[in-house]
Structure 1
Amino acid sequence: MCSPQGIMDNIIGKAMDAAFQVVKCTIHYKKNHKDLKDEMENFKKLSKLAQEIKENVTNLKREGHFTEIAFSKPPPPELQFRSDDDYEIFDSRASIFKMVVDTLKDSKVTVIGVHGTGGVGKTTLVKEISKQLKEDRTFDEVVMAVVSRNANVSKIQSQLVGPLNLDLSNATTEEQISYKLWHRLNNGKKNLVILDDIWKEVNLKAIGIPVTDGNKGCKVVITSRNRGVLLRNMKVDRDFALPLLPEPEAWTLFEKVVGNSVDSPELYSIAYATTRLRMWSKCKMHNVTRDVGISIAQEYLVEHGVVSEWPKKRKYESYSEISIRSRSMDELPNELACPQLRILMLESNNPSLLKVPDGFFSGMKELEVIDFNRMCMSPLPSSLPKLANLQMLCLNECKLADIAILKDLQGTLEMLSLRGSDIEVLPQEIGHLTRLRLLDLRYCGELKVIPHGVISNLTCLEELYFSDQFYQWDKKKTSGNVSLDELRSLTRLTTLHVHIPKDMLFPKESSLNFENLVRFKISIACVHYRVVAHSAATRFLNLEEIPLKAELNTLVEKAEELHLLGVEGLKKVLHDRGGGEGFLSLKFLRVQSCYDLDHLLGKPKWFMQPSRSFNKLTTLIIRDCRLKYLSSPSSIRGLLQLKQLDVAFPSLKRLVINQCSQITDVWDKKMLPSESFFQLRTVTVITCGKLVNVFGPIMVSRLQNLQEVFIAHCPNMEVIISKKGEEEEPNDNIVLPQLTNLNLQSLKNLKSFCTTRSEVGSLFNHKVAFPALEILRIQSCSQIADNLQEVSIDHCPDMEVIISKKGEEEGDEGAEPNDNIVLPQLRNLELRDLKNLKSFCTTISEAGSLFNHQVIFPALERLGIWDVHNITDIWDKQSLAVQYKARSFCQLTTMTVSDCKDLRNVFPSNILPWLHNLDELNVSKCPNMEVIVFKNTKEEETINDDLILFPRLRTIEILSMENLKSFCDSSERSDAQPLFNHQVWMS
């Protein structure tokens, strides 16, 4: 069977020959037609030749009727061999990488093998090698198949034929497919086949891989865990071993995969030990891990989902662990005989809560862990405190009453969690549990009483979690409730979650020691700060309207997420430190209403040495502050600027500046380190009265990852990106490739997005590009609206609306609008390649129309619409009266519409009286358009039914309009209707 390419080459060749004969005959006729009047014999010969050409062309037309008009395109190589962007060739891998590449270029080698432990990176290595060899043209084509343990010829063949674009219409058996593969891979080109994860011998000839007959054009790379399979069964020419990563490289890879987590002091030693475990080298195959897991699981019972009753006795009495999650179970057995049970986990989603019988635990003498969720434990079963080996008790979201009998577990219990339960009083007897290492009272909203002395008695506590809603601290030691002073007794404490009312100061007689805390969520504020509960940070600190006490300095230093609201004394913490080595773990910083600060960063001597401060900071929020600059004033010449000098913020992704009235520049124009702000994703600037721009010249190259910009209520803002003071290069374009959302509101003096030498009054000029923009919102920017002369939006495939008014109050459909968007100076509007655009402005207008009553263009002269696929109408017919009253579109002289596949017409007939200045009309490639002018018979306005008038129209161009039936919609429709009828008049 001929290939599609061969068929087309044959047809095209014949067509070219026929065309040449036609041209030759025509030239001969033009040259000799005068003489032919007297030479009839020559005329007969020419006629005969013309007849032969005609028959030839007729046959060609017949051959040109294909049963298939398209053939599937093979997937691009980058889809088959997608490279891991994070792939790193370590030193131990580099030599192997090079040897494999060099061997594949050796003409004497046909089949090579790569072997190593499962998961060591064989597949990734050969993919990267194949990608390089394809890019440097060592091989013309590279295909890959995953073989796996159950090798199957048909499965391997199916993975190879797709990328090779083989036609299998006449091949149904393995032998037929093998024949086609053989000839496809033996086509004289340099081909590479990768067979990944081979466990046993695979017959290459049966698959159709032509390497057994001494063919040098096709080569094969095979990966396996077993070297013997490669040498004995596959008889490879060369083999390469891929060993485990050395310890330093393993640690580097571990850091890359895990991220910043390994920087946590408490995790570092564990993480590093994990990479050094020698036991991993004994697990040579993944199935070993699986088999071990199966053998362990035989001791466990896990029932989740539809469990309506307790499992039968024979199912659970030998288990060491039981985990049951039920939605519909109504009751539990009164007593269970589980002599080997060590762990019991029950969770009920029954709204009535599953009640635990009094003797439920009697037959579980070895029980060590109880984890109950949403169960009824009121009263506590009397069999519970008799569990002599119980170490962990979790009664999360359970119904509880008196839990005093838990004191009988004082000899063994180490972990007690009452999280989310309805307990109101923590009894005095809990203080007897002196072996407790963890006490969790989070989300206990009803808890009001913790007797004095209970917490201080638990001297072994390492983790203590109070409810965020617990405020009843005893300030004067008179109420009998717990006091902050009791925390002094907990010398082993490493984790503390607590909310403290701001008027509850720390004990004056002695300071609390927070030096040992490695995890904490501490809020000192007037009310519960809701962000605490939702924060994922392991070290969270919120301070509100308090003087900063010395004992809190350590927490400020260690915090990952830090909220400072109206805090006094920040200068000592933020400024009085040396070396620029503070805040090494800080990822989120919010500073609000801290009026005694005029800058955040420390002393000038910081800037004489490298600084790692704020290196992990991803979010910075500054609100209602009198900051003049971020760094020390003597370091930046006293300018009123928010700046970053040596502190580079290399990880910052989100920046919010709100109500900072003294700031005139966000970034210093000349002193930013090269790595600063490259990760910036979101910038929000609100109510900064002196700010005249957001981004200076030095920031433009750092905005490649910027995704969202929101600027509002900055009355002196004139430009978003300022390039003043920088020489403009011919190709000095500003491209924000990741920007999806641009929101500009209440910027009454905004004149342009970027200051360049572009036309005055242009918001976006040809040097500014947003290829990924989806949302553009411009509201209450009067200078833009008043002076804007040209708008061109090109290639924003995800954009649905140009001006969004969502969230604003809209009037009734029939009401007179009072919030119109008027662009009085706009002369030119171009919309290109906006495939998802639905409307220029979001309103209650008719679905599918581009312009509605809230957009007014009284001076618009040129309107161009290209590749806007979602609109069905350009004008909303229901709002034309409002538009006409505002004289919108009355100056339009040139209109172009092209490639709008859903557009049904260009003009509704009742807009024509406005278009008396239209001089040129171009319409092309709108496949669903049947008429240019649509006559709405329901329209009540007075329209001359007998005349469509274009008094100044001089040029009209209509191209590639396959379904166009008439220029004007007519009630007298017929199959033979002319394009222009008596109703159309163009003077």
Structure 2
Amino acid sequence: MDALRADEINKIGVWGMGGVGKTTLVKQVSQLAEDEKLFITRVYVDVSWTRDSEKLQDGIAKIQQKIADMLGLEFKGKDESTRAAELKQRLQKEKILIILDDIWKEVSLEEVGIPSKDDQKGCKIVMASRNEDLLRKDMGAKECFPLQHLPEKEAWNLFKKTAGDSVEGDKLQHIAIEVVNECGGLPIAIVTIANALKGECVAIWENALDELRSAAPTNISGVDDKVYGCLKWSYDHLKGDEVKSLFLLCGWLSYGDISMHQLLQYAMGLDLFDHINSLEKARNKLVTLVRTLKASSLLLDGEDHRNGIGGASRLLFMDADNKSVRMHDVVRDVARNIASKDPHRFVVREHDEEWSKTDGSKYISLNCEDVHELPHRLVCPELQFLLLQNISPTLNIPHTFFEGMNLLKVLDLSEMHFTTLPSTLHSLPNLRTLRLDRCKLGDIALIGELKKLQVLSMVGSDIQQLPSEMGQLTNLRLLDLNDCWELDVIPRNILSSLSRLECLCMKRSFTQWAAEGVSDGESNACLSELNHLRHLTTIEIQVPAVELLPKEDMFFENLTRYAIFDGSFYSWERKYKTSKQLKLRQVDLLLRDGIGKLLKKTEDLELSNLEEVCRGPIPPRSLDNLKTLHVEECHGLKFLFLLSRGLSQLEEMTIKHCNAMQQIITWEGEFEIKEVDHVGTDLQLLPKLQFLKLRDLPELMNFDYFGSNLETASQGMCSQGNPDIHMPFFSYQVSFPNLEKLILHDLPKLREIWHHQLPLVSFHNLQILKVYNCPGLLNLIPSHLIQSLDNLKEMVVDNCEVLKHVFDFQGLDGNIRILPRLESLRLEALPKLRRVVCNEDDDKNDSVRCRFSSSTAFHNLKFLSITNCGNQVEDEGHINTPMEDVVLFDGKVSFPNLEKLILHYLPKLREIWHHQHPPESFYNLQILEVYNCPSLLNLIPSHLIQRFDNLKKLEVDNCEVLKHVFDLQGLDGNIRILPRLESLKLNELPKLRRVVCNEDEDKNDSVRCLFFSSTAFQNLKFLYIKYCGYKVEDEEHISTPKEDVVLFDGKVSFPKIEKLILYDVPNIPFKMNIK
């Protein structure tokens, strides 16, 4: 951790043998760094593929994209050098921690775009490898930390934690200790063996100990023999050939993440799961076996959890625990060692290896980097799986290449260019899985001869037309055509012929569906063909108009996972959240019977450009399964839903850009009216709602209303005779017990959010509240609600023109805990804000008006920003009160955990701090920014200077009357002043006389020093002074020559100063007396 904190160290290495815990360590260290806020963000990248020299160049792009994804950066350039420049520019601006894990060969950081020079202070790189020399000599690590085996006590504690306390029993403990000893102190061996033996009887423990002791040594580079023995034992004791085969397959496949979708395609092709021919059953089996391997610590969650919008489908596994998996590098090495031996014969072959005339391997992965020619005939009579990787676009496959592979079941030819497919492809009678992802494809009619084919994937391929011969693939279970942007022609009756099809993926692909009833033999497929696919359970399709969907509901009947979008390619840009998604435009939800039935199962619904959701009430239980609702651009809607009950499973709701919407939900019927007669009845509307966002709804008056019709609701909102009578946005009958995030944006008719009498559990779980551009909002958080918001963590209030108070504490016990978990508060553009906190005692001493009054105690607040607030406050009741007599914090305010304070554009602020604060106040403040406060007289007074020992960064800009920054009057001259301050920026302070004010400063004022002798900023590294002191008036020292001003006096000590910038500071002829 000290190395991470040290500015002079920008590259750190961690090295040790495989399985010793390097990955765990670097992840834990990065978490600690985040907890200490050493960096703005952190990025983890697994680079285990660097062991393969041919993958290094491709890997550069992977690292670039991974870092960009984590930073939310969208590259403008396409080539690697341009992207590197963009990435470097971003990384140089911010403090970012980058972790490169499992490095095997040198990676050029400059080619990636990672700043790596010694003078780079922002970005830091932590690297993990088995090789210390690689880290020090090739990667330039300044500090390298070795990671050794766990000590005996720590090894035992880890084993006991994993296996359970039963290992301490009298019969088992001595055996367990011996088993731990056989693990050699290596965490991966300890955890794997502990998981395998958990809950087993003594006999199995004794047998395990015997087998571990007799395990044969191995010569796997970088893998300890004891680790190999433990992992091999765990493999041998997996129950069943299916899980063992899956383990070996995962180890054999490429380094890094393996998508579950890809694993399923391979497993189906290899018939890995005995006697399972159904895609759905195979998928469930795969999920089960993956869970078994994870529980045995032989498989890990994939690092890449992004629910990507491009590439192969993830819909099949949206409701599974994993979208991707990966293996620890040591486990993978052991798996490959096991797989290379008979009877498995998994082979990873490099391009420069000699081919034998006959090869007995069952699984071959061929690295074709820089290969331009393959053998004319490859005789592999036992071969079941052929994977060609890193294929050069110029590589040609001889037409006779596949003649000797009669047993081949899986063929992956991704990223190749084919004018026509090799003619001997038809000689693969047992082929079950064919992957042609990201290929340039011409004539592929030959595919029709692969009668046993069950999986066909052409994701991202350049293909314009499917051949009619594909209709012969009557055994096909999965057809993935995602991202086939140029696919325009699917001849009629092809899809209907795929009678066994279970999964059809056409995201960002074919959209030229023909209308039903068109009989032209040359026309495209129509959606009614899908009615013939009785086994279809999973589908991703896009239709240009919902009218093209079949009127019959057979197509929808068996769907368990679907994404059906009506609209353009951009419809897919919102990431998947559930496995049942429907996006509709300009359609009545009840217009077609099929849609109505599909709606009952839908979990994610997006609606746009609707005049009305449906004609008449939505039938009961139609929305019972809905979890996510997104509505936008529905300018004809006055209300969203007219229903009696429903939405019981809804978790997220977003409604925006609906010009006519007056309320979200309206109820009708005598049942509801009778129920609301009873004050306090909780109808539990939206009981599971966690996220609510309402934006740009100019006519919205309330969220819900219990009345017989919309007109009654409108009358109840605001009496025509008395426009000051307002109905709260949320009625007293509604409870949101699980709401975590509430965003209200651009709601001009919003007056009050909360009813004065809410159920006790209402909004109890609210963590984030953001209110933007609500010009009519009168009251934000009333006193009766304040105790319900104990879990509030973040709050933003921006551009609410008439809001006078943020929090109302009137009538509350003065000792009450106020918002104990609030960490971040941002207030901006509140021109009439009189006080942040309103209290009944506020007006007793209003000659000094405090934004935060004495009752305030936000004990966990870490970030506070106040910008452009209170500039139009009218003091009618206090005519004699100078309008600028405003203090931000009164004397009892306590912010013991505040880390960052930002004050911008506060023209009436004269003082920030009261002359007396509780001892713990502001002790953790690290960053203070004060901009455009023209009335500010004093910044950091002497009574607070010792509180700011943790201050690291101070910026003061455009404060017109400020004469001093620090006031040290009355303090011991030997006191430590701001010992952690690293950066000080002073700009546009025209009347700045001294940075430091001291009672002795006038004794020798013939030479005025901006930094006086008592100053000792021992850790200051950056000092910036611009446009300061140019209006200083020396009325009492007329004879003082203006040029007799120096920056530092003779005792100033800045031992760590690195950068000093002076710009347009008058009267300073750059005299620096530095001792």
So what's the TM-score if we normalise by structure 2? 0.53
Is the Cα contact below 8 Å between 2:832 and 2:869 reproduced in 1?
A: no
Aligned-residue Cα RMSD (Å) equals 6.1
Counterpart of 2:772 in structure 1 is 686
Which residue in 2 is equivalent to 1:900? 978
Question: Does the 8 Å CA contact 1:558/1:583 hold for their aligned counterparts?
Answer: no
1:790 partnered with 2:887: yes
Pick the aligned partner of 1:713 from 776, 790, 799.
799
Contact 2:800 2:829 in 1 (8 A): yes
SS for the counterpart of 2:449 is helix
Contact 2:439 2:460 in 1 (8 A): yes
State which of 649, 656, 672 in structure 2 corresponds to 1:592: 656
2:1018 to 919, 925, 928: 928
1:514–1:720 Cα change, 3 Å: farther
Distance 1:472 1:899 in 2: 73
In structure 1, give the amino acid aligned to 2:818. Answer: I
Structure 2 distance, partners of 1:529, 1:322, is 40
Q: 2:466 aligned with 1:376, yes or no?
A: no
Note closer, same or farther for the CA distance 1:739–1:546 as it changes in structure 2 (3 Å cut). Answer: farther
- What is the match of residue 484 of structure 1? 527
When Rg is computed on C-alpha atoms for both structures, the one with the higher figure is 1
Structure-to-structure mapping, 1:527-926, within 5 angstroms: 528-532=570-574, 534-548=575-589, 549-550=591-592, 551-570=594-613, 576-577=619-620, 582-583=646-647, 586-594=650-658, 595=660, 598-600=663-665, 605=671, 614=686, 616-625=688-697, 626-634=699-707, 638=716, 640-643=727-730, 648-672=735-759, 674=761, 676-697=762-783, 699-723=785-809, 727-737=811-821, 739-740=823-824, 742-757=825-840, 759=842, 761-766=849-854, 767-769=856-858, 771-774=860-863, 776=865, 778-779=867-868, 782-783=871-872, 789-792=886-889, 799-800=899-900, 802-803=902-903, 821-826=906-911, 828=913, 833=922, 837-841=926-930, 854-858=932-936, 860=938, 863=941, 864-868=944-948, 883=959, 886-889=960-963, 899-902=977-980
Kindly indicate whether the alpha-carbon contact (under 8 Å) linking 1:575 and 1:600 is maintained by their aligned counterparts in 2.
Answer: no
CA contact (8 A) 1:475 1:504 kept: no
1:562 CA displacement: 2.7
Conservation of the 8 A alpha-carbon contact between 1:827 and 1:859: no
Q: Which residue of the other structure, out of 313, 331, 337, is the alignment partner of 2:379?
A: 337
AA paired with 2:383? Answer: L
Amino acid at match of 2:384: R
Summarize deviations over 1:241-287 as a string: whole Å, max 9, x none: xxxxxxxxxxxxxxxxxxxxxxxxx9999699969x99999999x99
1:422 corresponds to? 462
Cα distance change, pair 721–389 in 1 and its aligned pair in 2 (3 A):
farther
Tell me how far apart the structure 1 counterparts of residues 577 and 353 of structure 2 sit (CA, whole Å). 38
Give 1:460 deviation, angstroms.
2.7
Give 1:371 shift.
3.3
Report the Cα distance in structure 2 between the residues aligned to 1:359 and 1:521, rounded to whole angstroms. 41
In the alignment, is the contact (CA less than 8 A) between 1:377 and 1:399 conserved in 2? yes
If asked which structure has higher relative contact order (CA below 8 Å, sep 6+), I would say: 2
The answer to whether the Cα contact below 8 Å between 1:199 and 1:226 also exists between their aligned partners in 2 is no
1:323-359 CA-partner distances (Å, limit 9, x unpaired) = 4566555554443222222233333275x47544433
Residue 130 of structure 1 is matched in structure 2 by none
Give the fraction of aligned pairs with identical amino acids, expressed as a percent. 21
Q: Deviations over 1:160-185 (max 9, x none)?
A: xxxxxxxxxxxxxxxxxxxxxxxxxx
Instruction: Summarize the Cα distance change of 1:925–1:328 in structure 2 as closer, same or farther, 3 Å threshold.
Output: farther
The letter of the residue matching 1:901 is P
Match of 1:472 in 2: 512
Quickly say closer, same or farther: Cα 1:422–1:929, change in 2 above 3 A: closer
In the superposition, relative to structure 1, how do residues 378 and 584 fare at CA in structure 2: closer, same or farther (>3 Å)?
farther
Q: Which segment is superposed worse, 359-368 or 623-632?
A: 623-632
Gap change, CA 1:197 and 1:887, over 3 Å in 2: closer
Matches within 5 A, 1:396-407: 396-407=437-448
Counterpart secondary structure, 2:465: coil
The whole-number CA distance in structure 2 between the counterparts of 1:197 and 1:465 is: 39
CA 1:621–1:310 in 2, change beyond 3 Å: closer, same or farther?
Answer: farther
- Residue 261 of structure 2 corresponds to which residue in structure 1? none
Cα contact 2:970–2:999 (8 A) shared by 1: no
Q: Distance in 1 between matches of 2:386 and 2:535?
A: 29
Aligned partner of 2:961: which letter?
A: R
CA distance in 2 between counterparts of 1:498 and 1:618 reads: 29
Q: Distance in 2 between matches of 1:419 and 1:121?
A: 41
Q: Distance in 2 between matches of 1:620 and 1:838?
A: 32
Per-residue deviation, 1:585 = 5.2
Matches within 5 A, 1:55-74: none
The answer to whether the Cα contact below 8 Å between 2:962 and 2:991 also exists between their aligned partners in 1 is no
Deviation at 1:507, TM superposition (A): 5.2
Matches within 5 A, 1:81-120: none
SS at match of 1:384: helix
Secondary structure at the counterpart of residue 630 of structure 1: strand
Q: Take 2:294 and 2:938, find their aligned partners in 1: how far apart are those partners?
A: 72
Q: Distance in 2 between matches of 1:424 and 1:151?
A: 62
Aligned-partner SS, 2:436: strand
What are the superposed Cα offsets for residues 684-740 of structure 1, whole Å, 9 maximum, x if unpaired?
A: 33333433344444553454444433333333333333445xx31021232342524
Instruction: Please report how far the alpha carbon of residue 433 of structure 1 lies from its aligned counterpart in structure 2 after TM superposition.
Output: 1.9
Letter in 2 for 1:379: T
CA–CA separation in structure 1 for the residues paired with 2:947 and 2:386: 63
TM-fit CA distance, 1:381? 1.7
* Structure 2 residue matching 1:390: 3-state secondary structure: coil
Structure 2: distance between partners of 1:629 and 1:755? 25
The residue correspondences of 1:41-190 to structure 2 (distance < 5 A) are: 122-123=163-164, 149=179, 151=181
For residues 450 and 642 of structure 1, do their structure 2 counterparts lie closer, same or farther at Cα, with a shift above 3 Å needed? farther
Asked whether the equivalents of residues 528 and 550 of structure 2 are also in contact (C-alpha less than 8 Å), the reply is: no
Secondary structure of 1:540's aligned partner:
strand
AA aligned opposite 1:592: K
Shift of 1:406: 0.9
Unaligned runs of 5+ in 2: 1-28, 33-155, 169-175, 207-279, 301-329, 625-643, 718-726, 875-882, 1002-1011, 1041-1050, 1056-1068
Q: Deviations over 1:814-850 (max 9, x none)?
A: xxxxxx6533454647896465734414xxxxxxxxx
* Equivalences for residues 355-374 of structure 1 within 5 A: 355-374=396-415
Write out per-residue CA displacement over residues 481-537 of structure 1, whole angstroms, 9 at most, x where no aligned residue: 233333333333211212223x452458545752422111122236632434x3243
Cα distance change, pair 699–947 in 1 and its aligned pair in 2 (3 A): same
Offset from partner CA, 1:631-662 (integer Å, 9 cap, x none): 34239995544437777545443333333334
- Residue 888 of structure 1 deviates from its aligned partner by 3.5
Write the letter of the residue equivalent to 1:342.
Q
CA contact (8 A) 1:713 1:746 kept: yes
1:319 matches 2:361: yes
Please give the per-residue CA displacement for 1:740-794, whole angstroms capped at 9, x wherever unaligned: 4x33333333333333346464333451416352463524663589778222486
Return the letter of the residue paired with 2:771.
V
| Matched residue SS, 1:514 | helix
- Structure 1 residues 402 and 153, CA, compared in 2 at 3 Å: closer, same or farther? closer
Kindly indicate whether the alpha-carbon contact (under 8 Å) linking 1:320 and 1:343 is maintained by their aligned counterparts in 2.
yes
Contact 1:893/1:919 (CA < 8 Å) preserved in 2?
A: no
Residues 1:564 and 1:116: Cα distance change in structure 2 (over 3 Å): same
Kindly indicate whether the alpha-carbon contact (under 8 Å) linking 1:356 and 1:375 is maintained by their aligned counterparts in 2: no
Structure-2 change in CA distance of 1:596 and 1:823 (3 Å): closer
Separation in 1, partners of 2:333, 2:965: 76
Give 1:131's aligned residue: none
Does the CA-based 8 Å contact 1:442-1:466 persist in structure 2?
yes
List per-residue Cα deviations over 1:672-695 (Å, max 9, x = no partner). Answer: 352x54444433333334333444
Q: How many residues align?
A: 697
Q: In 2 relative to 1, CA 523–617 (structure 1 residues): closer, same or farther, beyond 3 Å?
A: farther
